[in-house]
Homo-oligomer: A and B are copies of this chain.
């Protein structure tokens, strides 16, 4: 059987303490979703496949009328996860950002509308940063503490710092745009050139 990235998400989540499909879903929502989304519709069939392959072991946990199935990694499953983590295929990235895409085409707009696109991007990053600060980082740190893990919290902080960096970048661009608009008396677009440069470093 061929293992997909989704398989490894499931294996990895079981390894850091998730036990049921539902818990995997919640873990993902609170962390991995930002760099690897996966939905319940993928999780449950995946659990079945992994169990058939002997990588995880499931047991029924009937509490009252509510059924649920608890899983744990088998030694084979743990080794399979570790092998994947260690193997050297180039780690692919796919980034699909409608906000950046719109900004890329912003020359089609006048200055007032285009600065609005930067602002929308910044506000999104501010919202995300806020949710990292108040929800995701604390939850990840709780998990790290409970499970004795390090990278759970590290990646949550990465998400926070990344969004803060985006905010800073947007603010730099917004500053440049108003400055470029001033001397030309609000008329022209800013020209290509040095601009705000090293906003971060």
Name A residues whose Cβ lies closer than 8 Å to a Cβ of B: 5, 8-9, 12, 15-16, 31-32, 34-37, 78, 81-82, 84-86, 88, 90-109, 113-114, 116-117, 120-121, 124, 141, 144-145, 147-155, 157-158, 161-162, 164-165, 168-169, 173, 189-192, 195, 199-201
Contact = CB atoms under 8 A, between A and B. Distances in A.
Contact of A102 (B85, B95, B113, B117): B85
Given A9-B101, A91-B124, A200-B200, 17 more contacts: A32-B104, A35-B95, A81-B105, A85-B106, A91-B121, A92-B96, A92-B98, A93-B124, A100-B158, A107-B147, A107-B149, A114-B151, A145-B192, A149-B192, A150-B189, A154-B173, A168-B201
Chain B CB within 10 A, most for which of A12, A35, A168, A189: A35
22 contacts: A12-B104, A12-B108, A32-B104, A35-B95, A35-B104, A36-B96, A36-B98, A82-B108, A84-B102, A85-B102, A85-B109, A92-B98, A93-B96, A93-B98, A93-B99, A93-B124, A94-B94, A95-B97, A103-B155, A104-B152, A107-B149, A200-B200
Nearest to A192: B144
Given A144-B192, A151-B114, A153-B192, A102 B91 contact: yes
Given A35-B104, A105-B16, A108-B81, A120 B91 contact: yes
A106 B151 contact: yes
